[in-house]
Amino acid sequence: MLSYFRTLVYLTIVLLITIQDSISQHAQFLHLWTTPNCEGAPFANSSGTNVYSLPETTPTVYYRLNGLWAIQLCNTANNCNERIIRVGTNTTCSPVPLGQNTILEITRFGDSAQNERKITFFEQPGLQGASFSVDEIGANFTTRTARSYYFTGTNSWEHKPSGNVGVGNCITHTMGVRDRGFGFTYATFGINWQIGSVKYGCTSNEVPNTTTVPTTSPNSNGGVRTKVDSILMHSLIIALVFLKIVST
Protein backbone atom coordinates (compact mmCIF):
# COMPACT_ATOMS: atom_id res chain seq x y z
CA MET A 1 0.00 0.00 0.00
CA LEU A 2 2.84 2.34 0.91
CA SER A 3 4.67 1.79 -2.40
CA TYR A 4 1.40 2.38 -4.22
CA PHE A 5 1.05 5.66 -2.33
CA ARG A 6 4.64 6.59 -3.16
CA THR A 7 4.04 5.85 -6.85
CA LEU A 8 1.02 8.14 -6.79
CA VAL A 9 2.97 10.94 -5.12
CA TYR A 10 5.76 10.53 -7.66
CA LEU A 11 3.25 10.47 -10.51
CA THR A 12 1.56 13.59 -9.18
CA ILE A 13 4.86 15.48 -8.97
CA VAL A 14 5.72 14.47 -12.55
CA LEU A 15 2.27 15.53 -13.72
CA LEU A 16 2.46 18.86 -11.90
CA ILE A 17 5.81 19.60 -13.56
CA THR A 18 4.34 18.68 -16.95
CA ILE A 19 1.30 20.89 -16.41
CA GLN A 20 3.52 23.75 -15.24
CA ASP A 21 5.44 23.35 -18.49
CA SER A 22 2.26 23.36 -20.56
CA ILE A 23 0.99 26.51 -18.83
CA SER A 24 4.19 28.36 -19.66
CA GLN A 25 3.63 27.43 -23.32
CA HIS A 26 0.84 30.00 -23.41
CA ALA A 27 3.15 32.99 -23.10
CA GLN A 28 3.70 34.69 -26.42
CA PHE A 29 7.28 35.36 -27.50
CA LEU A 30 9.38 36.02 -30.57
CA HIS A 31 13.09 35.25 -30.31
CA LEU A 32 15.57 36.45 -32.95
CA TRP A 33 18.92 35.11 -34.07
CA THR A 34 21.50 36.03 -36.68
CA THR A 35 22.75 32.43 -36.70
CA PRO A 36 21.12 29.81 -38.98
CA ASN A 37 18.86 27.21 -37.33
CA CYS A 38 18.37 29.57 -34.39
CA GLU A 39 21.50 28.21 -32.76
CA GLY A 40 23.17 29.81 -29.77
CA ALA A 41 21.77 32.71 -27.76
CA PRO A 42 19.09 34.89 -29.41
CA PHE A 43 20.11 38.53 -29.92
CA ALA A 44 16.61 39.60 -28.93
CA ASN A 45 13.80 38.04 -26.90
CA SER A 46 10.56 39.90 -27.39
CA SER A 47 7.27 39.37 -25.60
CA GLY A 48 5.63 42.44 -27.12
CA THR A 49 5.86 44.98 -29.91
CA ASN A 50 9.40 46.12 -30.74
CA VAL A 51 11.56 47.76 -33.39
CA TYR A 52 15.10 46.49 -33.97
CA SER A 53 17.89 48.18 -35.93
CA LEU A 54 20.15 45.63 -37.55
CA PRO A 55 23.72 45.99 -38.78
CA GLU A 56 23.84 46.49 -42.57
CA THR A 57 26.03 43.43 -42.81
CA THR A 58 23.32 41.08 -41.51
CA PRO A 59 21.92 39.11 -44.51
CA THR A 60 19.20 37.16 -42.71
CA VAL A 61 17.59 36.96 -39.32
CA TYR A 62 16.01 33.79 -37.95
CA TYR A 63 13.13 33.53 -35.53
CA ARG A 64 11.13 31.17 -33.36
CA LEU A 65 7.76 32.37 -32.14
CA ASN A 66 4.79 31.45 -30.02
CA GLY A 67 1.47 33.18 -30.70
CA LEU A 68 0.33 35.58 -33.43
CA TRP A 69 2.74 38.20 -34.70
CA ALA A 70 3.30 40.59 -37.60
CA ILE A 71 6.81 40.99 -38.98
CA GLN A 72 7.75 43.96 -41.13
CA LEU A 73 11.02 44.93 -42.76
CA CYS A 74 11.85 48.56 -43.40
CA ASN A 75 14.63 50.27 -45.29
CA THR A 76 14.04 53.57 -43.58
CA ALA A 77 11.35 54.36 -41.07
CA ASN A 78 9.03 55.46 -43.90
CA ASN A 79 9.94 52.82 -46.44
CA CYS A 80 8.57 49.48 -45.35
CA ASN A 81 7.72 46.20 -47.05
CA GLU A 82 4.40 44.44 -46.68
CA ARG A 83 3.79 43.01 -43.22
CA ILE A 84 3.74 39.26 -42.89
CA ILE A 85 1.50 37.60 -40.31
CA ARG A 86 2.87 34.53 -38.58
CA VAL A 87 1.35 32.18 -36.04
CA GLY A 88 3.29 29.47 -34.28
CA THR A 89 3.89 27.33 -31.22
CA ASN A 90 7.70 27.41 -31.20
CA THR A 91 8.01 24.42 -33.52
CA THR A 92 10.00 26.02 -36.33
CA CYS A 93 13.05 28.21 -36.88
CA SER A 94 12.26 30.46 -39.86
CA PRO A 95 14.53 32.75 -41.88
CA VAL A 96 13.77 36.34 -42.91
CA PRO A 97 16.13 37.55 -45.67
CA LEU A 98 16.78 41.24 -45.06
CA GLY A 99 17.79 42.51 -48.51
CA GLN A 100 18.46 46.23 -48.19
CA ASN A 101 16.47 46.48 -44.99
CA THR A 102 17.98 47.25 -41.62
CA ILE A 103 14.86 47.83 -39.56
CA LEU A 104 12.75 44.99 -38.24
CA GLU A 105 9.39 45.83 -36.70
CA ILE A 106 7.51 43.14 -34.83
CA THR A 107 3.98 43.43 -33.51
CA ARG A 108 2.31 41.06 -31.08
CA PHE A 109 -1.44 40.53 -31.28
CA GLY A 110 -3.68 39.63 -28.37
CA ASP A 111 -2.97 38.89 -24.73
CA SER A 112 0.21 37.19 -23.61
CA ALA A 113 -1.59 34.06 -22.38
CA GLN A 114 -3.62 33.63 -25.62
CA ASN A 115 -6.92 33.05 -23.90
CA GLU A 116 -8.51 36.43 -23.21
CA ARG A 117 -12.28 36.71 -23.80
CA LYS A 118 -11.98 39.44 -26.39
CA ILE A 119 -12.43 39.66 -30.15
CA THR A 120 -10.76 42.31 -32.30
CA PHE A 121 -11.98 43.29 -35.76
CA PHE A 122 -10.05 45.36 -38.30
CA GLU A 123 -11.50 47.45 -41.08
CA GLN A 124 -8.77 46.32 -43.49
CA PRO A 125 -7.40 42.88 -44.42
CA GLY A 126 -4.18 41.71 -42.80
CA LEU A 127 -5.18 42.83 -39.28
CA GLN A 128 -4.71 46.44 -40.35
CA GLY A 129 -6.60 49.70 -40.37
CA ALA A 130 -8.96 50.93 -37.69
CA SER A 131 -9.75 48.22 -35.15
CA PHE A 132 -12.45 47.69 -32.57
CA SER A 133 -12.60 45.12 -29.80
CA VAL A 134 -15.47 43.53 -27.92
CA ASP A 135 -15.24 41.71 -24.60
CA GLU A 136 -17.70 39.48 -22.72
CA ILE A 137 -20.07 42.39 -22.15
CA GLY A 138 -20.81 42.59 -25.87
CA ALA A 139 -21.40 45.72 -27.91
CA ASN A 140 -23.75 47.41 -30.36
CA PHE A 141 -22.49 49.47 -33.27
CA THR A 142 -24.00 51.72 -35.86
CA THR A 143 -22.64 49.36 -38.44
CA ARG A 144 -18.92 48.94 -38.71
CA THR A 145 -17.03 46.97 -41.33
CA ALA A 146 -14.71 44.05 -40.61
CA ARG A 147 -12.28 42.68 -43.18
CA SER A 148 -10.09 40.72 -40.76
CA TYR A 149 -10.26 39.65 -37.12
CA TYR A 150 -8.70 37.54 -34.40
CA PHE A 151 -9.66 36.23 -30.99
CA THR A 152 -7.95 34.00 -28.44
CA GLY A 153 -8.91 30.97 -26.38
CA THR A 154 -11.67 28.39 -26.50
CA ASN A 155 -14.29 31.09 -27.00
CA SER A 156 -17.01 31.78 -29.55
CA TRP A 157 -18.65 35.02 -30.67
CA GLU A 158 -21.86 35.93 -32.42
CA HIS A 159 -22.18 38.99 -34.60
CA LYS A 160 -25.16 40.44 -36.44
CA PRO A 161 -25.06 42.77 -39.40
CA SER A 162 -27.66 45.25 -38.29
CA GLY A 163 -28.18 46.05 -34.63
CA ASN A 164 -29.12 43.23 -32.34
CA VAL A 165 -31.85 41.80 -34.58
CA GLY A 166 -32.10 38.89 -36.96
CA VAL A 167 -29.93 35.88 -37.53
CA GLY A 168 -26.41 35.98 -36.18
CA ASN A 169 -23.19 34.66 -37.56
CA CYS A 170 -21.23 32.52 -35.13
CA ILE A 171 -17.43 32.37 -35.07
CA THR A 172 -16.03 29.50 -33.05
CA HIS A 173 -12.45 28.68 -32.07
CA THR A 174 -10.50 26.24 -34.24
CA MET A 175 -9.90 22.57 -33.41
CA GLY A 176 -6.25 23.39 -32.75
CA VAL A 177 -7.24 25.93 -30.11
CA ARG A 178 -9.69 23.47 -28.60
CA ASP A 179 -6.99 20.79 -28.33
CA ARG A 180 -4.38 23.18 -26.90
CA GLY A 181 -6.78 25.05 -24.64
CA PHE A 182 -5.32 28.36 -25.85
CA GLY A 183 -4.25 30.08 -29.06
CA PHE A 184 -5.60 32.17 -31.90
CA THR A 185 -8.55 31.90 -34.28
CA TYR A 186 -8.31 34.48 -37.01
CA ALA A 187 -8.98 35.50 -40.58
CA THR A 188 -6.52 37.84 -42.23
CA PHE A 189 -8.52 38.25 -45.47
CA GLY A 190 -11.57 36.96 -47.32
CA ILE A 191 -14.26 38.45 -45.11
CA ASN A 192 -16.28 41.62 -45.48
CA TRP A 193 -18.77 41.86 -42.67
CA GLN A 194 -21.09 44.61 -41.55
CA ILE A 195 -21.00 44.49 -37.75
CA GLY A 196 -24.09 45.80 -35.97
CA SER A 197 -23.68 43.90 -32.73
CA VAL A 198 -21.34 41.39 -31.14
CA LYS A 199 -21.90 39.17 -28.17
CA TYR A 200 -19.86 36.62 -26.31
CA GLY A 201 -20.82 33.02 -27.05
CA CYS A 202 -23.47 31.70 -29.37
CA THR A 203 -26.49 31.28 -27.16
CA SER A 204 -29.35 32.38 -29.38
CA ASN A 205 -32.10 30.00 -30.44
CA GLU A 206 -31.25 30.60 -34.06
CA VAL A 207 -28.75 28.19 -35.51
CA PRO A 208 -25.88 30.48 -36.38
CA ASN A 209 -23.37 29.82 -39.12
CA THR A 210 -20.05 28.55 -37.94
CA THR A 211 -16.88 29.82 -39.53
CA THR A 212 -13.78 27.86 -38.67
CA VAL A 213 -10.85 29.77 -40.00
CA PRO A 214 -8.09 27.70 -41.55
CA THR A 215 -4.60 28.58 -40.47
CA THR A 216 -2.84 30.02 -43.49
CA SER A 217 0.61 30.22 -41.98
CA PRO A 218 3.29 27.68 -42.95
CA ASN A 219 4.66 27.42 -39.43
CA SER A 220 1.62 26.55 -37.43
CA ASN A 221 1.12 23.18 -35.80
CA GLY A 222 -1.81 21.02 -34.85
CA GLY A 223 -1.25 20.94 -31.12
CA VAL A 224 -0.31 17.27 -30.77
CA ARG A 225 1.33 17.90 -27.44
CA THR A 226 -1.77 19.42 -25.95
CA LYS A 227 -3.77 16.24 -26.41
CA VAL A 228 -1.11 14.63 -24.24
CA ASP A 229 -1.49 17.52 -21.80
CA SER A 230 -5.22 17.02 -21.51
CA ILE A 231 -4.73 13.28 -20.92
CA LEU A 232 -2.16 14.16 -18.24
CA MET A 233 -4.57 16.66 -16.71
CA HIS A 234 -7.22 13.96 -16.43
CA SER A 235 -4.65 11.54 -14.99
CA LEU A 236 -3.71 14.15 -12.40
CA ILE A 237 -7.31 14.60 -11.32
CA ILE A 238 -7.64 10.82 -10.96
CA ALA A 239 -4.32 10.69 -9.06
CA LEU A 240 -5.44 13.48 -6.70
CA VAL A 241 -8.73 11.69 -6.05
CA PHE A 242 -6.75 8.53 -5.24
CA LEU A 243 -4.46 10.48 -2.94
CA LYS A 244 -7.47 11.87 -1.12
CA ILE A 245 -8.94 8.37 -0.71
CA VAL A 246 -5.59 6.89 0.42
CA SER A 247 -4.96 9.68 2.94
CA THR A 248 -8.39 9.44 4.61
Ligand X SMILES: *[C@@H]1O[C@H](CO)[C@@H](O)[C@H](O)[C@H]1NC(C)=O
List of residues contacting ligand X (CB under 6 A): 29, 41-45, 64, 90, 137-140, 164, 167, 169, 197, 209
Our CB check for ligand X shows the closer of 1 and 137 to be 137
Q: Quick one: which of 130, 125, 152 has its CA closest to 141?
A: 130
Closer to ligand X by Cβ: residue 121 or 239 = 121
CB of 244 to ligand X, least distance (A): 33
* Least distance from ligand X to the Cβ atom of residue 163, Å: 7
Between 54 and 239, CB nearer to ligand X: 54
| Spatial contact of 226 and 198, defined as CB atoms under 8 Å apart | no
Cβ-based neighbours of 24, under 8 Å, separated by 6 or more: none
> Which amino acid does the sequence have at 177?
V
At 53, phi and psi to the nearest 5? -100, 130
| Contact call for residues 152 and 115 (beta carbons, < 8 A) | yes
In whole angstroms, give the CA distance from residue 246 to residue 248: 6
Cβ nearer to ligand X, comparing 71 with 171: 171
CB of 126 to ligand X, least distance (A): 23
Read off the amino acid at residue 46: S
* In the complex, least distance from residue 245 CB atom to ligand X, rounded to whole angstroms: 36
Instruction: Evaluate whether 58 touches 110 at the Cβ level (below 8 Å).
Output: no
| Count of positions (residues) in the chain | 248
Whichever of 52 and 242 has its CB closer to ligand X, that residue is 52
Q: How far is the CB of 246 from ligand X (least distance, A)?
A: 35
The helix (H) or strand (E) run that includes residue 243 is helix 224-247
Nearest approach, Cβ of residue 102 and ligand X (Å): 18
Minimum CB–partner distance for residue 55 and ligand X (Å): 15
Strands of the sheet with 209-211, listed across from one edge = 139-146, 193-200, 156-160, 169-172, 209-211
96 in Cβ contact with 61 (< 8 Å) = yes
Compute how many other C-beta atoms are within 10 angstroms of the C-beta atom of residue 8.
17
| Closer of 9 and 136 to ligand X (Cβ) | 136
Q: Which is nearer to ligand X, 124 or 221 (CB)?
A: 221
